Amino acid sequence: MQRLGFGGRRSWRRGAAAATAWLASMAVGGAVGALATLGAAMAAGASPLFAAAELPAYSVPGGTLLDKTVTYRSDEDHFKYGSLGGERGYHGQVGFGLPYWLWVALPEVFADLLPEKGPPGAGYSRFGYIYEPGRDPRFQLPIGTSQRRNLGIDRVWINCGVCHTGVVRDTAQGPPRIVLGMPANRYNQGAWVQFLFKAAHDDQRFTPERLLPAIRRLEQERRQAAAAGKLASGTWLPPELNLLDEAIYRRFVIPIMKKRLQDLSGRLWFIDFGSWGPGRVDTFNAPKGLLNFPMRLAPREELIGNADLPSVWHQQDRVGMWLHWDGNNNSVQERNLSAAFAAAIPPTLDKCSLRRVARYLETLSPPPFPEDKINRELVATGAPIYHERCAGCHGAGQPPFKRAGGIGDRVGTVIPIGKIGTDRWRLDSYTPELAKAQNTLYAQYPLPGSQGCPGDDGAKDYPARFTHFRKTAGYAASPLDGLWLRAPYLHNGSVPNLRALLEPSDKRPKEFWTGYEVYDYRNVGFETQSPEARHQGWRYDTRKPGNGNQGHEGHEYGTDLSQAEKEALLEYLKTF
């Protein structure tokens, strides 16, 4: 019997179509081949190995017969929930995204592996995933995830919004304000990856015998929640599984996902995911493992590259600047494609979707600092101090960042490590060998017969082979737009607020707690020492490798200013 809506089971005919797609994918590529090539991208910056002889050219709106994505009318919703293509497979493989019902079941079946903080039944919120008001975290998706139906299976994966959407509160009881383009200050991707890996190595529970009964129970509970009006409207949810779907999950989906996660954890053995914490990621070490770099031979200084997630506002005004923390690429287009590797690899990329995100970010602006918390008299006093000490490297507070009078002369350029003096682990982790490897990516692109996108003829020649990656000797001086929402500071997030950044390193906090979203308007950063921050946050220890808080100090950096001058400069920085 067929029922309509997401509460009922699909027809046998639809199940047969799904089975046909799955079995066809097995026949072409083979389950063993799919596993052997490690077609998964389940860690930040991870680019799966692939050796396909033919690359698909199905980056077209709406997909093909067996590739349908959930689409969104507004650019804002597309940034939050639009698919970049990572859910789907290629060359006979079965896709990279987590099947929806596995996504739903994992935090229920493996609740004991979740971080301790937070209520039960909260989906993935304990990892800092952000759910919009009214959404049920057990069944509806958080910001930064997308849905796509590929080869007959409804899948979930991440997109740009997961790392570039943050939350701020005025008080612990105040409502959260979701800010798009802001660093994901609560998101602990390292803990999420650890959760997936630990679950996959649990041979007693990551089995069809344990997961399918849980899925059946969750299907019933979702149906009850929908009947009671507890699911937010305006969202699309995949249908329940029918008997044939369950057979496919039992025979293929669950065993393959388990094996892929196990293989991936083995390949990334050298990464300490527990050292990341909220709002941070080791962007460039995962690709080394997945590109077969002999990491057992790598020197210790290459093994840690933890860095803060960046903001992504005003991208059109960053064209031509050296990007990433170490300024290793000056192409916004390549930077976007490189960052998208966490969500899609070249053969699966939905280029029209990514270009839509890129256009949205060209003019996206940060929200202003609350006007009632700014002392305008002090702002006037702080402006000339900023122009004397800071403007040469960081430019104007809003676009255009480069202006007359020497403002922004060095913005978007690399400051040598000997001059800036900050922690060098992130710099040393990015090697000349990795830069060379990255400049071979998209080597066969644009694909023969590549087409443009609706209203975007330039997409015909997109993407193209990377050519701009390089090894540098320092860190890039970036613009400071939206500075108040980019705490903690320095490339590795080792300084909790701007007030501390204006002190010499020996006076900066040695430890503090990150991931708590209540704002500290006096010190210009998030609360990091309050009892609530200590309870809900993650302990940041600046004495650990890669977490050093030294550097960016001395006359040029304002640490020798008088207390009155520092107060004025802080007030001026609030206006950025």
Residue 421, amino acid: G
Tokens 């060998």 belong to residue: 433
Q: What is the pLDDT of residues 266-293, one digit of tens each?
A: 999 999 999 999 999 999 999 999 888 9
Q: What is the pLDDT of residues 389-416, one digit of tens each?
A: 999 999 999 999 999 999 999 999 999 9
In this prediction, residues 418-426 reach a mean pLDDT of 98
Query: What whole-number distance in Å separates Cα of residue 12 and Cα of residue 127?
Result: 37
Q: What is the pLDDT of residues 136-178, one digit of tens each?
A: 999 999 999 999 998 889 999 999 999 999 999 999 999 999 9
Return the closest-CA partner of residue 151 out of 12, 62, 24, 41: 24
Domain assignments of the chain as residue spans, ordered by start: 68-267, 270-367+408-481
Tell me if 323 sits within 8 A of 317, measured CB to CB. Answer: no
Give yes or no for residue 17 having a pLDDT over 70.
no
Other CB atoms within 10 A of residue 250 CB: 15
Confidence of residue 94 (pLDDT cuts 50, 70, 90): low
Confidence of residue 478 (pLDDT cuts 50, 70, 90): very high
- The whole-number pLDDT of residue 31 equals 27
Q: What is the pLDDT of residues 289-322, one digit of tens each?
A: 988 899 999 999 999 999 999 999 999 999 999 9
In this prediction, residues 219-231 reach a mean pLDDT of 95
Q: What percent of the chain has pLDDT over 70?
A: 87
Query: What whole-number distance in Å separates Cα of residue 525 and Cα of residue 96?
Result: 37
Question: How do beta strands 145-150 and 153-158 pair?
Answer: antiparallel
User: What average pLDDT does the structure give for the chain?
Assistant: 88
Long-range contacts of 172-181 (CB under 8 A, 24+ apart): 172/518, 172/532, 174/518, 176/517, 177/367, 178/130, 178/132, 178/143, 179/366, 179/367, 179/485, 180/76, 180/79, 180/80, 180/364, 181/311, 181/312, 181/313, 181/361, 181/364, 181/366, 181/482
Q: Higher model confidence: residue 96 or residue 88?
A: 88
CA distances from 443 to 87, 347, 431, 463, 466 (A): 22, 12, 20, 10, 7
Return the closest-CA partner of residue 381 out of 107, 575, 565: 565
Q: What is the pTM of this model?
A: 0.90
Give yes or no for residue 34 having a pLDDT over 80.
no
- The whole-number pLDDT of residue 490 equals 98
HEC states along 494-563? Answer: CECEHHHHCCCHHHCCCEEEECCCEEECCCCEECCCCHHHHHHCEEEECCCCCCCCCCCCCHHHCCCCCH
Give yes or no for residue 33 having a pLDDT over 80.
no
Give me 557's structure tokens.
Answer: 């950096």
Return the closest-CA partner of residue 186 out of 147, 146, 144: 144
In this prediction, residues 471-491 reach a mean pLDDT of 98
Can you tell me whether residue 330 is helix, strand or coil?
coil
CA distances from 185 to 93, 167, 436, 484, 524 (A): 35, 7, 32, 12, 15
Tell me if 336 sits within 8 A of 459, measured CB to CB. Answer: no
Residue 553, amino acid: E
Give yes or no for residue 35 having a pLDDT over 90.
no
Query: What whole-number distance in Å separates Cα of residue 151 and Cα of residue 337?
Result: 25
CA distances from 140 to 42, 108, 236, 238 (A): 20, 14, 9, 10
Tell me if 511 sits within 8 A of 540, measured CB to CB. Answer: yes
Long-range contacts of 294-297 (CB under 8 A, 24+ apart): 295/269, 295/270, 296/270
Q: What percent of the chain has pLDDT over 90?
A: 79
The sign one gets for the Cα dihedral 115, 119, 121, 127 is negative
